[in-house]
Amino acid sequence: MNEWKEMLEDAKEWAKEAGKKQLERADGPMTVNSKSSAIDFVTELDVWTETFLTEKIQKHYPGHVMKTEESGNYDGESDYEWVIDPIDGTVNYARGLPFYCISMGVRYQGETVIGLVYAPKLGETFEAIKGGGAYLNGYRIHSSETSNLNKAVLGTGFPYDKGTSEDNNLPHINDVLPQIGGLRRMGSAALDLCQVACGRLDGYWEIKLNDWDIEAGILIIREAGGQISVTEEDKGLYVLVSNSSLYSTLKALINRP
């Protein structure tokens, strides 16, 4: 575990340095391109941040495998694999909204053992090491204790093909919304997961995600006492997380085929 702590401290240092650069550039001119759809953005800071982080990892941990959103996979001989999203919530970042983050998860022999989610504009650092609990800015966090569905506040999101596919999450929202206290759609899967971990949200679900969206956040929720379901589907990952009291009810209510 000492090795994991060292890796987490390095990841935090690099993420904060990259986040400082993101903040410096947030209000200035910026190159923004579209990827798979008109609203699936990549900015020059996505690319810069990913390059910065991968170069740091290659220098300090040569041989480690990496899986990244923008540049793909980096092979290596190590049992460690870093899973990196340089800016989760790129649309928010490009529009000047503060709900975006750097997400870094580390797997050891296929199991996630380190999770870091750093939100520069919010000034919040979520972190976890397997077996060591979850923390926000150094303070221990736990998932909520809400047990009544009609008092629960949940988060969700929509896939980029929402306008062309019937599997666009709207049917689930129609099932869930009348029965809950509130619904939020904030635009960063990694940060949404962290909101469940610290009890701000009682649960969250989304479809057609990638592992770099959730790798760090899933460990943070697990270490905060939440419950998790990740299902690999044809067009990505279906993720459902909540506190322990609501999990079974939500899983039955959001009934994926």
**119 residue type, one letter:** A
Ligand-binding annotation for 232, yes or no, is: no
Q: Can you give the C-alpha Rg of the chain in angstroms?
A: 18
CB 130 within 8 A of CB 66: no
Q: What is the dihedral of CA 68, 73, 78, 83, to 10 degrees?
A: 20
**224 residue type, one letter:** A
Question: How far is the first Cα of the chain from the last one, in angstroms, to the nearest whole number?
Answer: 39
| Long-range own/partner contacts, residues 133-137 (CB < 8 A, 24 or more apart) | 133/223, 133/224, 134/197, 134/198, 134/219, 134/220, 134/221, 134/223, 134/224, 136/194, 136/197, 136/198
Ligand-binding annotation for 69, yes or no, is: yes
Ligand-binding annotation for 85, yes or no, is: yes
Residue 61 DSSP symbol: S
Ligand-binding annotation for 87, yes or no, is: yes
- Please name which of 209, 154, 208 lies closest in space to residue 178, comparing C-alpha atoms: 154
Strands 153-155 and 203-209: parallel
Ligand-binding annotation for 141, yes or no, is: no
Rounded Cα distance between 249 and 140, Å, is 27
DSSP string, 108-154: ETTEEEEEEEEETTTTEEEEEETTS-EEETTEE--------GGG-EE
- Bind-site residues for Mg(2+): 69, 85, 87-88, 213
Show binding-site residues. 69, 85, 87-88, 213
